[in-house]
Amino acid sequence: MEHQISRYENLVVEVLTDLPTPSRIPKHPSRIEHIGLIFTLRHRRSHFEVSESGERRLIQQRETLKIPLCDNQFRAEIFNRDDDSLFHNLSSSFQNFKPEIDAEPVADALIERWIEIRDEANSRSSDRVFPMTVNLTMWHIVARYEIGVGSGGDGCGMVPACGGAVGKMLRRLEREDEVDGICVICLDELKKKKKKNGRFGLQMPCLHVFHGNCIEDWLKNSHYCPICRFEVPIQKNSQLF
């Protein structure tokens, strides 16, 4: 039995808001013009073992304390789905942090939360600046996969898939109802919002679905499906096998 070690980083975003209780609602509410963001960051490190069947087992997990990251204040009008300004502003704010923080899921979470509470917040606020606390967890995942070497015993378990075959055999999923569960490679949920590449995931001919970037990176190292060991053709001496 061979094994493959993969390392991934996922960003978990938690947005906290404090709406005034009915007893604290002002007689003449102020329309909110800006949103103040207070960011914190902590790191979580998890080690998993993933069997050939896709079952995962947590081996070890550690988590650091939250630390202040940065504070920002942006116009409330950019917190909407049709404006990329929040994404670009956050990208600029995060660019000097290591490891790199992906601004896209942060912007998505903030916009969704603001749309959810906007009317209520405007009817209750006594200030033109509405505060939000944004707790970011950088989840560092180390996964150790069991990989079979194939029934022929030829030791080809860790041979990369042929790039041309990968492009032809992976089916692009563009509808949210086509995906469910988790991606067993990065261990994050498949059912995420459509990213800028316009897809929810990629499906192999064996019908198993993964995040697009996850399975593409996986097949650069192994030509087997991470779950069922379905074989993608490999390149050998300029011939496909």
Contact 35, 121 (CB under 8 A): no
> How far apart are the C-alpha atoms of 91 and 35, rounded to whole Å?
17
Over residues 177-202, the mean pLDDT reads: 69
For the domain spanning 150-240, the CATH number is 3.30.40.10
Over residues 41-65, the mean pLDDT reads: 85
SS3 (DSSP) at 164: helix
**pLDDT tier, 20 (very low <50, low <70, confident <90, very high otherwise):** low
pLDDT at 103: 92
Q: Which two tokens mark 56?
A: 């995962």
Q: Which amino acid is at 5?
A: I
**pLDDT tens readout for residues 202-226:** 888 888 888 888 888 888 888 888 8
pLDDT at 16: 92
pLDDT at 199: 60
**pLDDT tens readout for residues 54-71:** 677 889 999 999 999 999
Q: What are the extents of the domains in the chain? A: 2-141, 150-240
Comparing 14 with 52, which gets the higher pLDDT? 14
Comparing 29 with 105, which gets the higher pLDDT? 105
